[in-house]
Amino acid sequence: MSNRDSKRAPLSRRRFLKNSALAAGAFSAPIVALPAGAAAPLKPVTFTLDWLYQGASVGFLLAKDKGYYRDAGLDVSISAGKGSATTAQLVASKATQIGFSDGYVVGNSIAKGMAIKTVGSIYRRDPAALMVLADSPIKTPKDLEGKTVAMTAGSAQFQQWPAFAKGAGIDPSKIQIINVDPAGVGPALVSGRADAIGGYVFSYAPSIQIRAKKELRIFWFADYGVTVVSNGVIVHEDLLKSDPDVIRAFVPATIKGFLHGRRHVDEAVAAVKRYQPTADPAVTKLEFELAWKTWVTPNTKGKPLGWGSDADWAGTIQVLKQYGGVTAPLQTSQLYTNEFVPTGAEYVPPQQA
């Protein structure tokens, strides 16, 4: 102790009480600063779409913009995707917590060992189809024989093509398949490079019909016996175990977003425009309207959007095994669950497209 410290005046009772009060105030300040009943902080969640911001998947954008995720306690960041397969890989590697991916891709990915699962089915009817110009001589699938079809190799519709050919009663060996990059599929039909194209209807038909001003004739795979569940909300199996409440909050909020857009199409179009400023409102509107045709299957009638049918998922496995090259044993319970799908009439979508 220094000579200066030894000569310091004794601490008076008044100084002691004053210092004690200041110290107590300092310790209690953080508690006083928090208002009574303050809301808990929102839980951050990362979510990746299957593709770009577009009308077909606008329910996620609306769930965020309308505050449905916030009301559920979530702070959701939405990223555009680069295809269902890529999104499935991101979820499997835990690079994103939740994704939007095709059920056929999910089944194929699980067969390869990825620990992912669909927790809410949105496109419950296969959106894949062959499309031809309405003024072409191709009036039925049988008329495709001797013609050329542009598709992207490795895509879900490419893998499902043999199942469609069988259901439609056509000989695939008499049809020439042209491998085209996704961005070039639509132009291949409009330019005459191909007589028909294969793909998701809402991915190509809107821009062809509105921008190119060409009417289409559409042969939906689902109308020819191809029972395949398409896009849904997917998560890693570990998230199901570690934080199921996040999924329990995310899925109903998402479904509310899709159903709100169905009732308020103008809001849906505006939401896409905010995320994708170059989007054509007329194209966006038609994308959403065509997506409605995939919401209900014969096995999901009267059920909430998001609810999956075991029969439909069994059909997906069957197509995977017959035409997708899958040899690993698969059970429907590995691919999906309805545990997080909300019940109640308010979640049931209109039954007509």
**Residue 324 confidence (pLDDT):** 86
* Identity at 222, one-letter amino acid code: A
Q: Evaluate if residue 4 carries a pLDDT over 60.
A: no
Q: What's the CA dihedral at 172, 176, 178, 179 to 10 degrees?
A: 40
Handedness of CA 102, 107, 112, 115 (dihedral sign): positive
In this model, does residue 5 exceed pLDDT 70?
no
At residue 21, the pLDDT reads 43
Rounded to whole angstroms, how far apart are CA atoms 108 and 111? 5
The whole-number average pLDDT for the span 300-315 is: 98
CA-nearest of 195, 183, 55, 176 to 133 is 195
The total of other beta-carbon atoms located within 10 Å of residue 205's CB is 23
Q: What is the mean pLDDT of residues 2-11?
A: 41
Indicate if the pLDDT at residue 252 is higher than 70.
yes
pLDDT at 147 over 50: yes
Tell me the pLDDT tens digit for each residue of 39-76: 679 999 999 999 899 999 999 999 999 999 999 999 99
Which pLDDT score is estimated for 7? 39
Band of pLDDT at residue 330, cut at 50, 70 and 90? very high
Task: Encode 325-353: b = buried (16+ Cβ within 10 Å), e = exposed.
Answer: ebeeebebebbbbbebbbeeeebbbeeee
Cβ(339)–Cβ(123) below 8 Å: no
The angle at the Cα of 43, spanning 42 to 46, to the nearest 5 degrees, equals 125
Q: Look at residue 18 in the predicted model and tell me its pLDDT.
A: 44
> Which runs of E-coded beta strand occur in the chain?
43-48, 74-79, 98-102, 116-121, 128-133, 148-151, 176-179, 196-200, 216-220, 231-236
For residue 7, give Cα distances in angstroms to 1, 12, 13, 14, 16. 10, 15, 18, 19, 18
Can you give the pLDDT at residue 13? 40
Q: CA–CA separation, 19 vs 168, rounded Å?
A: 89
Q: Mean pLDDT in the chain?
A: 90
Provide the 8-state DSSP code for 95.
S
Whole-number pLDDT of residue 38: 56
Alpha-carbon distance 109 to 205, whole Å? 28
Using alpha carbons, select from 219, 191, 187 the residue that is nearest to residue 204: 187
> What is residue 182's predicted lDDT score, i.e. its pLDDT?
87
- Closest Cα to residue 122, out of 14, 22, 251? 251
Report, as an integer, the average pLDDT of 196-220.
96
User: How far, rounded to the nearest angstrom, does the alpha carbon of residue 178 sit from its chain's CA centroid?
Assistant: 28
Q: For residue 295, what pLDDT band results from cuts at 50, 70 and 90? A: very high
Tens digits of per-residue pLDDT, 79-121?
999 889 999 999 999 999 999 999 999 999 999 999 999 999 9
For 15-40, the pLDDT digits (tens) are 444 444 444 443 343 444 445 445 67
- The count of other CB atoms within 10 Å of the CB of residue 323 is 18
Asked if 268 contacts 55 with a C-beta cutoff of 8 angstroms, the reply is: yes
260's CB contacts (< 8 A; 6+ apart) are: 59, 62, 66, 68, 267, 268
How many angstroms separate the CA atoms of 304 and 293, rounded?
15
Name the pLDDT band for 353 (thresholds 50, 70, 90).
low
Please state the pTM of the whole predicted model: 0.85
Mean pLDDT score, 222-250? 97
Region of poorest pLDDT, from 5-14, 106-115, 116-125, 201-210: 5-14
